[in-house]
Amino acid sequence: MHYAQLLCDAETELLSNESLHALHRLAASEDRDLQMTAAMYYLHLSHHLTSPLPDAFMEPVMALLLSADLDVQKTTSLCLVNLLVKNNVCKELVTEMGMLVPMLEMFQSGDATAQCHSCACVTMLASSESNREAVMVDGVIPLLALAKSYDPKVQQNATWALLHLTQSDWSTRILCEAGAIPVLALLLQSSDSKVQFHSCTALCNIAADREHHPKLLSMGGDFLLKSLLTLMSSTVQKNSSQACRCLQTLSKNVLIQEQLMELDCVLPLKALLKTCPESAITLLSALSAHPPNNEVLVSEGLLDEIGQLLHRHRSSPVIITHSCKIITNLCSSCMGQQAAMESLCLSGLLCALLSPALSDELLLHVTSHVHHLMACGPVKSNLALTITPEQVSRLVKLSGQTQNPQLSYNSVAIICKLEMTEEMIQLLRPHYVAMMSYLLVFLKNKDVKFQQLGIVTIFNLKKDGDFSFLLANSELELQLRKVHAQTEETRRLLQMIQPLSPSSVNP
């Protein structure tokens, strides 16, 4: 059989015993051309194979990887990359057969293509948890050396492999001990976007464990934080988003938060709200949870940005959740309350209530924060000027959510705090019948807080004569009298119990 003809056979013939014997002879030959024929055969297989490669066919691959000819090694390693990517071979078998050793030796070849192929193989092998130990023993130092290569393709593959090694605590610890952090931090400034992404993601995985924070911050002049802030302004969206995610992971450390604030991180974060809003707002939410940061966040106009963001992204759970947290955190001061009143924050939260995509859990979150905000005097007054007829209708509908009592309670609590101006009365009048229905449910509730909220709401609504007219002799008024009678009875019974005198408690 002519060896060249092997390349044209169907898959069943490619994997025949005759082909296997031929491959063994070719791979064992000392003739470079014969070895290359076998390597090309395997490369053809790797492109067209649709089923797992039989284990017996892996033995010639090992012989080809040990060839003295670099081109044979390069072709064979490329074939192995293809087979690993398509899961045509078992990663554990590749390692057990000792193929990792010639792969690592190819790191030192000085040939960029050989380094790329071998590094890609090592990356695929490292993606299997059971292989990581074998890769770690001999591969870390060579990988770190390749990561410093001047060839972008080599760097891409090396950082890709290092990224896979940060996916377990054990291998991450060994990487850090081997000096991976300074290498990865320097690569954040690479001109290659893939190298930046791999390095940043690896650092993010490392930062997830606080035991590595001292090493992450050991480079002088806040080098890592400055590099991440610079990358956060990248025009490559996934890189800017990943840099922000890494900073967010680091920001769980209050000392790092303080350093970020000193580095004026708010301005680039505000800019990032327009391109990667979910990443930026998650970090800003973490910063706002630390009270010393709030004055700066307010003075930098963050509430203005959050208000506009809520109007642009009315259906994003991440944005709505973190916006609620930021607004509430920043409104803990008078300056924050004033800024919130002058921004679109409150109207943005109310607009979010109209989104059909919001879950009951998120609606509960939003109504809870709106209710909390309305405890602030200026915000409460501003609500009457910003609320729309659609938002009032939505609150009334949510108030009748008997299957979700807390959501109902929050919605009624918001309505209860509305100032009964002439404009507000006009908005509420079309809903009086529906409101009386849920107020009746509140008064019948065994929970006293529901009864009390119902009473206060009725008192507020009675400021409008139309509501008082509807209330007269209605079932709601009868229930109100029952509650009053029960309360009076409770008061009378309590009067029967004489409180113990201080002298009898402390003789």
Alpha carbon of 186 to those of 159, 234, 378, 427: distances in Å? 12, 16, 49, 60
230 with 189: CB under 8 angstroms?
Answer: yes
Burial grade of 246 (CB within 10 A; 0-12, 13-18, 19 or more): buried
Reference 93, options 84, 102, 85; nearest CA is 84
154 with 146: CB under 8 angstroms?
Answer: yes
Per-residue pLDDT at 284: 95
Phi-psi region of 392 (alpha: psi -120 to 50; beta: other; left: phi over 0): alpha
Reference 388, options 414, 427, 426, 341; nearest CA is 427
Reference 175, options 210, 214, 127, 132; nearest CA is 132
Alpha carbon of 202 to those of 125, 153, 158, 195: distances in Å? 17, 18, 12, 11
Burial grade of 9 (CB within 10 A; 0-12, 13-18, 19 or more): middle
- Please report how many Cα atoms fall inside a 13 Å half-sphere around the Cα of residue 207, on the Cβ side: 26
Per-residue pLDDT at 502: 54
Q: Is the pLDDT of residue 4 over 70?
A: no
How confident is residue 499, by pLDDT bands cut at 50, 70 and 90?
Answer: low
Phi-psi region of 397 (alpha: psi -120 to 50; beta: other; left: phi over 0): alpha
Per-residue pLDDT at 303: 94
Per-residue pLDDT at 8: 47
C-alpha to C-alpha distance for 20 and 33, rounded to whole angstroms: 18
C-alpha to C-alpha distance for 174 and 159, rounded to whole angstroms: 16
DSSP string, 404-421: SHHHHHHHHHHHHTS---
Q: Is the pLDDT of residue 3 over 50?
A: no
Residue ranges per domain, the chain? Answer: 387-493
Q: Report pLDDT digits (tens) over 19-54.
A: 888 888 898 888 889 999 988 988 888 888 888 888
Q: Which amino acid is at 198?
A: H
| Residue 466: count of CB within 10 angstroms of its CB | 12
C-alpha to C-alpha distance for 345 and 315, rounded to whole angstroms: 15
C-alpha to C-alpha distance for 33 and 31, rounded to whole angstroms: 6
Which helix (H) or strand (E) segment holds residue 79: the answer is helix 70-85
435 with 461: CB under 8 angstroms?
Answer: yes
User: What pTM was estimated for this model as a whole?
Assistant: 0.73
Burial 423-446 (b: 16+ CB within 10 A, else e): ebbebbeebbeebbebbbbbbebe
Q: Which of 107-116, 129-138, 155-164 holds the top average pLDDT?
A: 155-164
Q: Report pLDDT digits (tens) over 219-253.
A: 877 899 999 999 999 999 999 999 999 999 999 88
Least confident stretch, 97-111, 142-156, 170-184: 97-111
Per-residue pLDDT at 483: 87
Reference 353, options 340, 344, 364; nearest CA is 364
pLDDT, averaged across the chain? 86
Q: Report pLDDT digits (tens) over 323-380.
A: 999 998 998 888 988 888 888 888 888 888 888 888 888 899 899 888 887 776 665 6
Burial grade of 132 (CB within 10 A; 0-12, 13-18, 19 or more): buried
